A and B are shown apart, each in its own frame.
Chain A
Amino acid sequence: MLRTVLGKTLWEQRRAIAGWAIGLFAAGAMYAPFYPSIRENAATFDKYLESMPEFFREAFLGRTGDFTSPAGYLNTELFSFFAPLLFLLFAIGAGAKAIAGEEERQTLDILLAAPIPRRRVVVHKFLAMLAGGAVLGAFLWLAVPLTGPPFDLRVDLGNLTAAVVMCYLLAMAFGAIALAVGAATGRRGLAIGVTGGIAAGSWLVDLLAPSAPLTEWLQYLSPMHYYLDAEPMLRGLGVAGSLVLAGIALAGFLAALVLFERRDLAA
């Protein structure tokens, strides 16, 4: 494991990745026991939801308003908030730590005095984040078919895969932004703060912009929009949205490469 920057990074994050993976499995599992009661009271729920202002419904229950079918339930409860939140926390932490963490802890000077180009360190750190995220995604996916059926929570596995993939792409997009900010500044706290701020702002913009005709277009500036609007749990993989998210991840990665290459490193 300790032969490359990638292997070493994954090795040192093995416990953290295991912890997050268990967290995402638990997130994927914890809604199942409540599903039977939701389904039994579907009519009441639907009526109640009808009575809510559209704004609230969109904010907390997803776009389609389908809350009581198995897929709608998971879309609303798991994939509209909690799973992306956990996934983002992992990815932003990993991205911010990748370069800036080493620089702040003063381990970077010796590493970069080895005969490896700076860009290789960025590439390996990015790959480690992608790989760690993939483990999280796999555990999130597994939780649904493993824990749902006893509670009659059965969903289309293709759509489940699409939802997990898009959630993963969303997280990697923000992780790559954190990587770039960290690589450009060498400051881990700043990278977490800036990226977390962009994520929160992007969620709010996606939420609020559509409510007025004048600001509607703003939602397209929000990375979050391309995930939340697609509702892959109900409609399968949103190809355009996925491409946008992957594009953001790639842009963040390339920015990290260029910015890190040019910079004076903190002693």
Chain B
Amino acid sequence: MAEVIRTEGLTKSYGPRRGVVDLTFSVAPGEVFGYLGPNGAGKTTTIRTLLDLIRPTSGRAFVFGLDSHRDAVRIHARVGYLPGEFSLYDHMTGAEYLAYLASLRGGVSAERIAELADRLDVDLSAKIRTLSHGNRQKIGLIQAFMHRPELLVLDEPTQGLDPLIQHEFYRLIEETRADGRTVFLSSHVMPEVERVCDRVGIIREGRLVAVEDIGDLRAKELRTLEIHFAAPVPASAFDGVPGVREVEAGGDAVRVTVAGPMDAVIKRIAAFEVVDLTSHEPSLEEIFLTFYGKGEGGGD
């Protein structure tokens, strides 16, 4: 099987400023794919189309090579899904809820459910209505992971989880990858994607603006230099210097963002009297903002 997920010109229109436009991407087996974008960019719309909860306006989506709509039931048997926003049945206990979903899936061993509940530290004997948001999120995660699906589709999976549990969640993702299974995970939290994903698709205002290898992104070698000069230096001093992406000058302090080799910019800095110089490797967030610009999304 070539691809676990493939979309061809997938488009979903609602009104203006909503939905997704002409998405074409694919996710390979065994990959952890991050789907990154601000709230309202279209992450949830894409995911719910893959799950056949909403239907594309045009274009198609394939999961395991099967049509997302026509073969939805066969796809669902092999997928674990955590929605971005969901409720559980309040009057049930966590154990009853999971038993119900497990039997709809043809059965899941009780040991497997108990093991996940133990790792995520959630009490399954309590009525769901008495649980905190974080504990409900954990039960949502258990139902997605419990049947060891070939593909996990997780919409903002770590929201509401405390850091220790997030760490356990990352371990679950690692184990899934080690099994050769595939993960499609949406997030607006950059460090999360940086930490767990192999590849990332960036979506803004309904359009896929880039699909990159996390490694390739880092190789873009973006650096920010903060220089304090003895006397004020204008931003125009860096005009035409190769590699310079952005310059912010304020009195004798200058911030320069550089892509690629540093040689030319260092030589230009050396023309002035330098008091202090610091360099830092930007987070992926800054890399994205530099390459893909800042943009505000609409409501989700």
The answer to whether the Cβ of A117 comes within 8 Å of any Cβ in the partner chain is: yes
Residue pair A109, B101 in contact (C-beta under 8 Å): no
Beyond contacts A110-B143, A111-B101, A267-B44: 4 other A-B pairs, Cβ-Cβ < 8 A, are A8-B100, A115-B73, A264-B55, A267-B48
User: Which of B48, B72, B104, B105 interacts with A109 by CB under 8 Å?
Assistant: B48
CB-CB under 8 A from A113, the residues of chain B are 51, 53, 76, 79, 81, 83
Given contacts A2-B96, A3-B103, A114-B104, contact A109 B86 (CB under 8 A): yes
Residue pair A110, B83 in contact (C-beta under 8 Å): yes
User: Which of A2, A8, A107, A115 interacts with B86 by CB under 8 Å?
Assistant: A107
Q: B79-112 interface mask toward A, CB cutoff 8 Å, 1 = contact, 0 = none?
A: 1010111111101100010011101111000000
| Minimum Cβ distance to chain A for residue B245 (Å) | 37
Residue pair A116, B104 in contact (C-beta under 8 Å): yes
CB-CB under 8 A from B140, the residues of chain A are 110
Number of A-B contacts (CB under 8 A): 74
Q: Which residues of B contact A (CB under 8 A)?
A: 44, 48, 51-55, 72-74, 76-77, 79, 81, 83-89, 91-92, 96, 99-101, 103-106, 140, 143
Q: Which residues of A contact B (CB under 8 A)?
A: 2-5, 8, 12, 105-107, 109-117, 264-265, 267
CB-CB under 8 A from A105, the residues of chain B are 87
Closest residue of chain A to B107 (Cβ to Cβ) is A3
Closest residue of chain B to A114 (Cβ to Cβ) is B104
CB-CB under 8 A from A2, the residues of chain B are 96, 99-100, 103
Given contacts A107-B88, A265-B53, contact A115 B48 (CB under 8 A): no
CB-CB under 8 A from B84, the residues of chain A are 267
Residue pair B87, A112 in contact (C-beta under 8 Å): no
User: Which of B53, B54, B92, B105 interacts with A115 by CB under 8 Å?
Assistant: B105
Residue pair B86, A106 in contact (C-beta under 8 Å): yes
| Minimum Cβ distance to chain B for residue A208 (Å) | 43
